[in-house]
Amino acid sequence: MQDCIFCRIVSKEIPSKIIRESEQVIVLQDIAPKAPIHFLIIPKKHIRDLSSCDSQDSSVLSDILMMAQALSKEVPGAENFKLLVNNGHSAGQRVFHLHFHFLAGKVFSE
Ligand code: 5GP
Ligand code: ZN
């Protein structure tokens, strides 16, 4: 999608700090980090939000979770992490291309 910022980052039209990349998934450094470690795990395919996923997306959703596990093993200080999805505007979603926030490196209050 031409007007989607994350699609433009995935296609490398817009430069970004890419942490990791796999066949279906890309991991970016968040531009406005809310924790010492704040990555965005993003499907390369444009999916609007979690509510828009169907059974055909189960493979990419699984890859996102396994990517979170790999990051936690490989990034120093990310053994404990929080994985967060804002689904819909009222929930705080501002970029309407599915992404999982990977947050780590501090003690989160409950
Ligand atoms: P949302 O509120 O939609 O769940 O999260 C969007 C996230 O994307 C925010 O944490 C915001 O800082 C991040 N973000 C927005 N635009 C860009 C960008 O151009 N590059 C990167 N790396 N992150 C972005
Ligand atoms: Zn997109």
C-alpha triplet 95, 100, 101: angle, nearest 5°: 90
pLDDT for 20: 97
pLDDT for 1: 74
HSE, side-chain direction, 13 A CA sphere, residue 34: 9
Question: Which of ligand 1's atoms lies nearest the C-alpha of 28?
Answer: 22
pLDDT for 110: 74
Q: How far is the CA of 89 from the centre of ligand 1 (A)?
A: 14
pLDDT for 73: 98
Ligand number with the minimum distance to the CA of 14: 1
pLDDT for 21: 96
* pLDDT beneath 70: ranges in the chain: none
Expressed as residue numbers, the domain containing 88 is 30-104
Residue among 41, 90, 94 to mutate when testing ligand 1 (max atoms within 8 A of CB): 94
For the stretch 71-82, pLDDT in tens is 999 999 999 999
CATH number for the domain spanning 88: value is 3.30.428.10
Number of compact structural domains in the chain: 1
